Structure 1
Amino acid sequence: MNNIKKLLEGVEVEWKPLAYSEYGVAELSRGRVMSKEYLINNAGEYPVYSSQTANNGEIGKIRTFDYDGEYVTWTTDGANAGTVFHRTKKFSITNVCGLIRIKNTKVLNYKFLFYWLSIEAKKYVYSGMGNPKLMSNQIAKIPIPIPPLEIQQEIVRILDSFSMLTAELQAELQAELQARKSQYEYYRNQLLAYPMEESDQSSLRSNRSATSIQNSDNSTQPLSTLNPHTGNSVLQPRGKVEWKMLGEIGTFIRGNGLQKKDFMENGVPCIHYGQIYTHYGTFATKTKSFVSKETANKCKKAHKGDLIIASTSENVEDVGKTVAWLGDDDVAISNHTFIYSHNQNPKYLAYLFQTQAFLKYKKTKVVGVKVIDIPQKALESFCIPIPPLEEQERIVSILDKFDTLTTSLTEGLPKEIELRQKQYEYYRNMLLSFPKNNIKA
């Protein structure tokens, strides 16, 4: 901090508008319209940037380029309006992007301008009519501080170092999280990989039709084809295991009626199907949302110990995602869900729905293209191992520990990154705090 204060001590700063009036330090232009069809028909090696922020704003590559060199670009329209990027080399931009070309790079550094606009540009976004915009006439008026070029370069060097450290930390935390997740999934699959005895297979074949449990992908024993046991006593199955279809040991009830517009801050607890794969984990004791008693009276309700299963999603991975309801109160359930009532350990069953075996099974059973559904009959036909309740409890206790660790890392990752980001922003703001005098309009 003392070094920063020393760096800025006594520095003379001239203020000029970005591109407004004769004092403007830059020239502004806009990109051009490029349709998806155009990107496909002109596919090549040079990036095209648009209004999104994912993938550094890149939406595709074409065989030509409109700009070659160093520039700053900004997003003009939409949710990301006012987002700025430092661009180099050969590229193009679409019509929802603006381009900034500095008139004299011996006076103003591109990266310094980028860092300054990262703070200031969002302040000039106009959000009228529900569509945020930062058009050329607005960004042109932003005052730009111009300290000596060597000071700009030193500020850029410091902020680049902070940015690199933040990115490296994020990569390390993501790698740690992925390693823990892989370890957790391995143990979960091992603990739930019971071999199916011949007597179990014969019993299943005699009790139900072949079409309901057997097909070319061997869905009769989906959980017995996972990773083989390693001899680790913790992972070894214990006790007699029966194989049953979900429809044999429980009942599915389809949810109804509840919509997001019905949500209230207080009232009867409720779960909307979309929340199952965006908010909840393996189990829940409290809900994110509530509805009135009148609305709840019209809804099907899950009781303590029931599973709540999302029957609809936009992808196969999320459809069938399950949360075990362990709250004391009944919870109202939306449509596009199933309530599964049973007499087994609810968390044990919820963990079974997370296995690769269930993923493989449901891929052969889902219907739909844009909207993916898993039919009730498919869920009823899913065959699972049923060990004694005490063995289910042992498995759950082990998986809970991994689940807690993984969840804490998942929650801790954004917090740690946010902490680093705030630290970076603190030093950035200090480095870019100049007395606002001598501003030329």
Structure 2
Amino acid sequence: MSGLSYLEKLLDGVEVEWKPLGKVLERTKGTKITAGQMKELHKDGAPIKIFAGGKTIVFVNFDDIPEKNINREPSIIVKSRGIIEFEYYDKPFSHKNEMWAYHSNNYAIHIKYIYYFMRVNESYFQQIASKMQMPQIATPDTDKFKVPIPCPDNPERSLAIQSEIVRILDAFTALTNELTNELKLRQKQYNYYREQLLSFDDGEVEWIDLDDVFDIFAGGDVPKDLFSDVQTKDFNIPILSNGIGNNSLYGWTNKAKIDLPSLTISARGTIGWTSYRTLPFFPVIRLLALTPKLTSKFQLNLKYSYYYMKTIEGDYRVPKTGIPQLTKPMLKGIRLPIPCPDDSAKSLAIQSEIVRILDKFDTLTNSISEGLPREIELRKKQYEHYRNLLFSFPKPVADN
């Protein structure tokens, strides 16, 4: 039976009653605690988890906060200020008192089923919160929010349907988490091998200054008369800044300043961040461009130099006074290891082999068209697709 037909059978003919969340679950309060107290009370490995705004958490002992403020039931935690989201937790916990949580006292209501439905609707609450100067929601926003209860007149069947929906979504979540953990492991492995492959003993390499093998250019002003916010037939050369990944795209122009495959290094903000560029581009202020010198006596694989520069991204000694900035003169003194400098063929062969190995790791850990990132993205989309199907109950006339 296909996944879709199974879902159709699971939900076929199911009647739904939409009930206010506050009528379905019990709302609980948190504990009065300051950020300073949380920091002071935190103990690694302590049994009580305390949630604060955003991703802030600490762990405390049972006698660190009032017993009445400790929640022991599996619950949905409402993060109500700043970052608006819902979190499920099934161990003893508390939270700052501007937040609140819900748990179920009804055997026919699966708390995690309600949690998954609230996650589907996070954007609704984020939209409400955005109307405030400090994004926040209030208890009536969640108390009055209606949730779908399948087969309300048949508690056993209702719980069975809720439990099956939870089982399916838990399976997708577990698979995504497994892939994410695998990706973290591979990234550590990649960093380890990169460090090993690009660490050389004395006598194996010659250390040369960057300006012996690269022409170094500082980015210029944006060409205002030759600038477009969008890519067009005439304006198809990317203008690049010091951002990371897609955030480096500033706009488009019609004439490149750098035509050859090059490296770029962020000079401000994300100082040291190195990118490998194969297409023509126009660098702006805050970005340095390194183009291989055609007249250099050293044979250099550009991708090899890219991988080496990635290992020293955090090592630049930038003055702390004023606005921290990496400059051309600072780069000129950076040294690059060239293996077997007196044997060009052997040198290039070693560089190429290092690139081949690291390219494989890079594809596995970073590629959005191949490797684990692509697999994770596909699983997330699959999860969202089935989640939407599982919660596609007919909406009431007076909708949320």
Same fold (TM over 0.5): yes
Q: Which residue of 2 aligns with 1:48?
A: 50
Output the CA distance in 2 between the equivalents of 1:421 and 1:167.
Answer: 8
Q: What SS is found at the alignment partner of 1:349?
A: helix
Structural RMSD (CA): 4.1
Work out which of the residue numbers 312, 316, 337 in structure 2 matches 1:385. 337
Output the CA distance in 2 between the equivalents of 1:255 and 1:170.
Answer: 40
Output the CA distance in 2 between the equivalents of 1:440 and 1:423.
Answer: 26
Are 2:167 and 1:161 aligned?
yes
Work out which of the residue numbers 281, 287, 292 in structure 2 matches 1:337. 287
Q: Call closer, same or farther: CA 1:432–1:271 in 2, change over 3 Å.
A: closer
Output the CA distance in 2 between the equivalents of 1:425 and 1:101.
Answer: 24
Are 1:15 and 1:438, in contact at CA under 8 Å, matched by a contact in 2? no
TM-score, normalised to structure 2, is 0.72
Q: Call closer, same or farther: CA 1:304–1:167 in 2, change over 3 Å.
A: same
Q: 5+ unaligned residues in a row in structure 1: which ranges?
A: 198-223, 225-240, 281-286
Q: Call closer, same or farther: CA 1:335–1:26 in 2, change over 3 Å.
A: same
**Alignment size in residue pairs:** 364
Q: 5+ unaligned residues in a row in structure 2: which ranges?
A: 294-299
Q: What SS is found at the alignment partner of 1:92?
A: strand
Q: Call closer, same or farther: CA 1:338–1:279 in 2, change over 3 Å.
A: same
Q: What SS is found at the alignment partner of 1:353?
A: helix
1:34-88 deviation line (CA, Å, top 9, x unaligned):
4432312333532222342xxxx4522343262322232223233x42x222333
Aligned positions of 1:157-306 closer than 5 A: 157-174=163-180, 176-177=182-183, 180-181=186-187, 188-189=194-195, 192-197=198-203, 242-258=206-222, 264-266=229-231, 267=235, 268-275=237-244, 278-279=245-246, 288-292=249-253, 301-306=257-262
Are 2:374 and 1:405 aligned?
no
The one-letter code of the counterpart of 1:73 is: I
Q: What SS is found at the alignment partner of 1:302?
A: coil
Output the CA distance in 1 between the equivalents of 2:87 and 2:158.
Answer: 18
Are 2:263 and 2:274, in contact at CA under 8 Å, matched by a contact in 1? yes
Output the CA distance in 2 between the equivalents of 1:25 and 1:193.
Answer: 61
CA drift at 1:437: 6.2
The one-letter code of the counterpart of 2:230 is: E
The one-letter code of the counterpart of 2:111 is: Y
Output the CA distance in 1 between the equivalents of 2:184 and 2:87.
Answer: 29
Aligned positions of 1:120-131 closer than 5 A: 120-124=121-125, 125-126=127-128, 127-128=130-131
Output the CA distance in 1 between the equivalents of 2:169 and 2:324.
Answer: 40
CA drift at 1:179: 5.8
CA drift at 1:121: 5.0
1:163-214 deviation line (CA, Å, top 9, x unaligned):
44334433543455456556655665565445433xxxxxxxxxxxxxxxxx
Work out which of the residue numbers 325, 329, 341 in structure 1 matches 2:277. 325
Work out which of the residue numbers 81, 93, 107 in structure 2 matches 1:91. 93
Q: Which residue of 2 aligns with 1:284?
A: none
Aligned positions of 1:337-376 closer than 5 A: 337-343=287-293, 344-355=300-311, 358=312, 363=315, 365-368=317-320, 373-374=325-326, 376=328
Output the CA distance in 2 between the equivalents of 1:371 and 1:153.
Answer: 60
1:5-45 deviation line (CA, Å, top 9, x unaligned):
444445454332223xxxx3345466567443231233353
CA drift at 1:353: 1.0
Q: Which residue of 1 aligns with 2:143?
A: 140
Q: Which residue of 1 aligns with 2:115?
A: 114
Output the CA distance in 2 between the equivalents of 1:325 and 1:15.
Answer: 54
Q: Call closer, same or farther: CA 1:393–1:37 in 2, change over 3 Å.
A: same
Are 2:272 and 2:316, in contact at CA under 8 Å, matched by a contact in 1? no
Are 2:389 and 1:424 aligned?
no
Are 1:109 and 1:152, in contact at CA under 8 Å, matched by a contact in 2? no
- Identity among equivalent positions (%) equals 25
Q: Which residue of 2 aligns with 1:311?
A: 267
Q: What SS is found at the alignment partner of 1:347?
A: helix
The one-letter code of the counterpart of 1:419 is: L
Q: What SS is found at the alignment partner of 1:363?
A: coil
Name which of structure 1's ranges 89-98 and 365-374 shifts more when overlaid on structure 2: 365-374
Output the CA distance in 2 between the equivalents of 1:108 and 1:117.
Answer: 14
Are 1:68 and 1:88, in contact at CA under 8 Å, matched by a contact in 2? no
CA drift at 1:272: 0.8
